[in-house]
Amino acid sequence: MLVFLRKLITVFFLFFISHSVYADAEEIKLASQVVKDFQAELLDVMQQGDKLTYEQRFEQLKPVVLKSHNLAKITRIVVSKEWKKLTIEQKKELVRKFSILSVASYAHYFNSFSGESFTVESVKQLSPGQIYVHTFLVLPDEKDVSMDYLLKKKGDDWRIINIITNGVSDLALKRSEYVAVLKKSGFDVLLAELSVKIEKFSK
């Protein structure tokens, strides 16, 4: 009986381990695919170069940015504790404005092609609901740019919540800037500054 129980426990243990490894591998694959699809769209826009206007790049990138990024969560993280002080309408407007700015920045910076490519270097599961995707933007005649993506689970899907470029966190930069504006000048001034940034990107 004791031998049987040991064998049964071993079987259950091996099943649990193999199932967990499989589940983790599947989650890693799903998360990395989100990044790959997003980067593929960026590359497509870049390759079209002067054929597309800023407005056309914006419209092409908008769906993939909204799909791959958790912009509502990013906005909450960026404004930190100040988020609780905002009204429901202010929160909605800030997420809307920040979403436009995010798409606008991609449309502005990824506007031409000189042989660049993206490569996924590694993918690591930090926790059951958090995955880190380490990639490079490969530049033919310059040093490659490290672009790392932190993704969190949203329902059944994985979404980007932070991008670390050459070791610099986009969330940290924005949090430092936006929280300071909110504390010093208030919500309306922050919205106005975001609008100015959007306008500059469209030029």
Burial of 84 (0-12, 13-18, 19+ CB in 10 A): exposed
Domain hosting residue 193, numbered range = 2-201
Q: What's residue 24's pLDDT?
A: 83
Q: Which CATH number fits the domain that encloses residue 166? A: 3.10.450.710
**Number of residues that make up the chain:** 203
Which residues, at least 6 apart from 162, have a Cβ–Cβ distance to it below 8 Å? Answer: 74, 77, 149, 150, 169, 170, 171
| Tokens 């909204």, residue located | 66
Counting the structural domains of the chain, the total is 1
pTM of the model: 0.86
E strands along 106-178, which residues?
Answer: 117-127, 130-138, 145-154, 157-165, 168-169
Q: What is the pLDDT of residues 148-192, one digit of tens each?
A: 999 999 999 999 999 999 999 999 999 999 999 999 999 999 999
Q: What's residue 117's pLDDT?
A: 97
Q: What is the pLDDT of residues 53-95, one digit of tens each?
A: 999 999 999 999 999 999 999 999 999 999 999 999 999 999 9
User: What is the Cα–Cα distance from 158 to 67, expressed in whole angstroms?
Assistant: 10
